[in-house]
Chain A
Amino acid sequence: AQKVTQAQTEISVVEKEDVTLDCVYETRDTTYYLFWYKQPPSGELVFLIRRNSFDEQNEISGRYSWNFQKSTSSFNFTITASQVVDSAVYFCALSERNAGNMLTFGGGTRLMVKP
């Protein structure tokens, strides 16, 4: 069965620091998809990125970057030069091609960016 682990429950940084959120997944499927979502204090879940299991290229979007490594089953998320507005809970999620379309979420990492 699929599983997503976010070992860091809470991280606190000072503005402008870089921070990496870890995500480790387990799956038996060879085709799967990984996602990151952001949940700001207002409560909604905001889609950030999708990565499929065949594409190990890292991705950068502004201050955000993602590092996907199949060898270690990890899909880590780095925020460069963090800002107070980055304060939120971040969820990593997995879906498997052969297990329906459900997202399996990790427990989330609460990021607090202090001014």
Chain B
Amino acid sequence: DSGVTQTPKHLITATGQRVTLRCSPRSGDLSVYWYQQSLDQGLQFLIQYYNGEERAKGNILERFSAQQFPDLHSELNLSSLELGDSALYFCASSGYSNSYNEQFFGPGTRLTVL
């Protein structure tokens, strides 16, 4: 158990809908990262927050947004969902915002868009 929690574990929805994925980092970790794992794209970095502020952005679509709240939990919002958004979404956390810090991953949220 990495100490990172994600809810829900599974999510099934329809095209055009909007969903919110939630992540609670390990106790004391200030950085939260979101990754998407799909069959065709592999594991891709989406976005990072550090202590409430956006720190880095990767291949995140404009239909996706995220935020980190004062209690350090984070939410990833996916809107106008398409079939291709079906994937496993991971949240990870680390103590600081340095590239040498290992990131600990949550169990993931499996999103299925029908």
Q: A residues near B, CB below 8 A?
A: 32-33, 35, 37, 42-47, 50, 52, 91, 95-97, 99-105, 107-108
Contact = CB atoms under 8 A, between A and B. Distances in A.
A44 B31 contact: no
A20 B61 CA distance: 36
A100 B104 CA distance: 17
B104 A97 contact: no
A101 B108 contact: no
Interface of B: 2, 31, 33, 35, 42-45, 48, 55-56, 58, 88, 90, 92, 94, 97-108, 110
Given A100-B56, A101-B94, A102-B58, A47 B104 contact: yes
Given A42-B107, A43-B88, A101-B99, 5 more contacts: A43-B107, A101-B48, A101-B94, A102-B48, A103-B33
A18 B90 CA distance: 31
Contacts of B102: 35, 47, 50
